[in-house]
A and B are shown apart, each in its own frame.
Chain A
Amino acid sequence: MNTPAPTRRALVAVAALAVAGLVLTGCTAEPDAPATGKPVVGGTLTYASGDAEPDCLDPHVGGNYPQALTGTQFLESLVSRDTTGTIIPWLASEWSESDDGLAWEFTLRDDVYFSDGSPFDAAAVQANIAHLQDPATGSSTGYLALQKVTGTEAVSATVVRLTLAEPDSALLESLSQPWLAMESPEGLARGMEENCAAPVGTGPFVIKDWVKQDAITFVRNDTYDSPPADAGHEGPAYLEKIVWRFIPESASRYAALQAGEVDVIDNAQPDTIVQADKGDSIQHLDAPRPGAANRIELNSGTGPFTDPKVREAFIRSANVDDGVASLFQGTAKRSSSALSSAEALGVSRPKLFEYDPKAAGKLLDSAGWSETDADGYRTRDGKRLTVRFPVSTNQSIPAEQSLFEQIQATAKETGFDVKITPMDLSSWYGALGSGDYDAVSAPYTKVGPDVLRILYHSDGITPAPSGYFANHAQVNDPTLDELLTEAGRESDAGKRKALYTEAQDRILEGFYVLPLYDQQNHYLLGADVEGARALPTVSTPTFYDAWLSR
Chain B
Amino acid sequence: MSDLELQAELGLGARRQGATRRPRRIAVAEGLAGAVALFLVLSAVMPQLVAPGDPLAIDPLQAFQPPSLPHWFGTDESGRDLYTRVVHGTGNSLLIGVLATTIGLGLGVLLGTLAGMLGGFVDFTVNRVLEVLFAFPGLLLALLVILIYGPGVATATIAVGLSTAPGYARIIRAQLVQVRSSAFVEAATVQGLTPRRILARHILPNTLAPLLVLATLGVGQAIVWATALSYLGLGAQPPAAEWGAMLSAGRTYITSAWWMSFFPGLFIVLTAVTATTLGRAIERRMRHA
Contact = CB atoms under 8 A, between A and B. Distances in A.
B39 interface: no
B106 interface: no
Given A326-B79, A402-B78, A409-B57, A269 B63 contact: no
Contacts of A255: 255
Contact of B256 (A272, A319, A399, A408): A272
Interface string A405-430: 11011100000000010101001000
A332 interface: no
Q: Which of B233, B237, B257 has the most chain A CB atoms closer than 10 A to its own CB?
A: B237
B252 A251 contact: yes
B139 interface: no
Top 5 A-B pairs, shortest CB-CB distance: A271-B256, A326-B63, A322-B60, A326-B60, A251-B254
B251 A405 contact: no
A401 B249 CA distance: 10
Contacts, number: 70
A155 interface: no
A323 interface: yes
B238 interface: yes
B227 to A, nearest CB: 17
Most chain B beta-carbon neighbours within 10 Å: one of A254, A405, A427: A405
Interface of B: 56-58, 60-61, 63-64, 77-79, 150-151, 233, 237-239, 249, 251-257
A437 B23 CA distance: 63
A27 interface: no
A398 interface: yes
Contact of B58 (A254, A406, A422): A406
Interface residues of A, number: 30
B78 A326 contact: yes
Q: Which of B77, B249, B251 has the most chain A CB within a 10 Å cutoff?
A: B77
A251 B249 contact: no
Given A406-B58, A409-B57, A409-B78, 10 more contacts: A251-B251, A269-B253, A275-B255, A319-B60, A323-B60, A326-B60, A393-B233, A402-B77, A405-B78, A410-B58
Nearest to A409: B58
B60 A325 contact: yes
A323 B78 contact: yes
A250 B250 CA distance: 11
Contacts of A401: 238
Contacts of A422: 237-238
Question: Most chain-A Cβ atoms within 10 A of its Cβ — which of B237, B252, B257?
Answer: B252
| Residue with the greatest number of chain B CB neighbours at <10 A, chosen from A251, A399, A402, A406 | A402
A326 B251 contact: no
A139 B79 CA distance: 43
